[in-house]
Amino acid sequence: GSAGASCPPRCVCASNILSCSQAVLSTVPTPLPRFTAVLDLSHNNVTRLRADWAPGRLAHLHALLLSHNGLSFVSTEAFTHVPHLRHLDLSSNRLRALEENLFSDLSELEVLLLYNNEISSVDRTAFENLGRLRKLYLGQNRIARFPLELLRDGSRLPQLALLDLSANRLHSVPVGELQALPAWLRDRLYLHANPLACSCPLFQLVARGRHRQLSAVVDFLEELRCLPSAATAPVGILSLAGQQPLNCSEAREAVLEAHLGDSVTLGCDTRLRGVRQRHWVTPGGERVLEEGGNGSAALLANGSLQLRGLRPEDAGTYACWVAGPLLNETLYVDLLVHNFTLHGPHDTLNTAYTTLVGCILSVVLVLIYLYLTPCRCCCCRGAEKPPPPRDDSINSSVLSTTPNHASGVPGEPCRSRSASATGPGQNGRFKVGGTPQAPPRHGPKAQRKVSDPDSVSSVFSDTPIVV
């Protein structure tokens, strides 16, 4: 009886629910019962929501529905009297901007519906103090840029698990920042039906989402389209694979490359919230269960696996097993360990140069030994061998295979040449200034023919020069 007496005209009250939908209202009815928990004002003509729409504090109100009202103005103080609001529906209205600190009084808000409006500008402080917001619907608006930096570090909207930006006017998105978002947020980040410019990073972002079976990609695969630079008709983003002019290729997900001795961290990019337990399994089948780990593998507090001092045997596929409140998930990360250090290519290049220089020096030394080293035979030829003919060409030529030594007494060691007047010249030969005298011999004399010392430069001459 008391509830019926306090129920506004043209409204229906059921316990703590007050329904005034389709009541042809232009203002919020008064008075509102203080025990109201759900207030439905949808499908009316409430075009302005002023600060005094609720004269008293509605401490129990947790759901306010204002959709389909032609609402074009919302005061920044409109939610002062409803601090415990958890569900706010402002969809299908005529809102054009989200102004500064518009929802800052709703610290307990969890769901905010703003789709099907005329919103073209979003102030980055409009969602300030919304620490419990889980779902934000902004689809079917005129937004050309959304401040995605609100999601970068997770400090502004730490509980956000769904962001709908579909059917807006977004021409580009920061793919690198979106890829760095947690997997549970990327699973509900809707970007379809936007005039996005085609690019290979965008293709790889969508391809990874399809590989991970993310709902935002799999459920709206046909609507994920982009505009090529030379065409006016949109094409499917996934159709960019191998097609000109971009010729995009799908990047392998969860593949990490490192070098010997490096330290790497393998992330467990799970989509589950409220994880109760997780552990890693190494390629060798070893389980890493506790924080701190064993050996070179350590489980970090955030669930990542840190590997220190990589070895070739550390390469392989690592599995992260996650136990959530309702279901489990297993993630795989492929680790490639290159068989050299980070500076290995430079060291290899230096080694190649060193080897080349060593080869050149070896060739030079061989040439010096062949062409510039004087004869140091240990034994003279026997007497029984006839001396070389006297009318041969220059016998000391480096190209001749006939030794140019005088024959001596068998068993007698060779004697060094000596000059009569001048000192030794280059290559052990003697300069002009006198013909070197043949050393005295014992026994039968064997005379040796001597060439002109200056004829050493005519080694390749066709005319022999003989003294």
- Looking at residue 304, its pLDDT comes to 87
More confident residue, 148 or 58: 58
- DSSP string over 343-387: THHHHHHHHHHHHHHHHHHHHHHHHHHHHTSPP--SSPPPTTSPP
In-domain check, residue 69:
no
In-domain check, residue 289:
yes
Please count the structural domains in the chain.
1
How far is it, in rounded angstroms, from Cα 253 to Cα 467? 86
More confident residue, 286 or 382: 286
In-domain check, residue 125:
no
In-domain check, residue 279:
yes
Radius of gyration of the chain (CA): 46
Q: How many CB atoms lie within 10 A of CB 9?
A: 8
81-91 average pLDDT score: 96
Digit-coded pLDDT (tens) for 166-194: 999 999 999 888 887 888 888 999 999 99
In-domain check, residue 319:
yes
In-domain check, residue 305:
yes
- DSSP string over 204-217: HHHHHHHHTT-HHH
Nearest to 387 by CA among 410, 366, 404: 404
Give burial (CB, 10 Å; 0-12/13-18/19+) of 203.
Answer: buried
Confidence label for 112 from pLDDT (cuts 50, 70 and 90): very high
Range of the structural domain that residue 311 is part of: 256-337
Confidence label for 412 from pLDDT (cuts 50, 70 and 90): very low
Q: Backbone phi, then psi, for 264, in 5-degree steps?
A: -130, 160
Within a 13 Å sphere around the CA of 158, how many CA atoms are in the beta-carbon half? 6
Nearest to 103 by CA among 138, 141, 55: 138
Q: Backbone phi, then psi, for 345, in 5-degree steps?
A: -60, -35
> What is the CATH classification number for the domain harbouring 290?
2.60.40.10
Q: Which two tokens stand for residue 241?
A: 């694979």
Digit-coded pLDDT (tens) for 115-159: 999 999 999 899 999 999 999 999 999 999 998 888 876 778 989
- Looking at residue 372, its pLDDT comes to 77
Rounded to 10 degrees, the C-alpha dihedral 279/282/288/289 comes to 20
In-domain check, residue 331:
yes
pTM of the prediction? 0.64
- Looking at residue 165, its pLDDT comes to 96
- Looking at residue 298, its pLDDT comes to 85
Digit-coded pLDDT (tens) for 301-357: 888 888 888 888 888 888 888 888 877 777 778 888 888 765 545 444 556 667 888
In-domain check, residue 373:
no
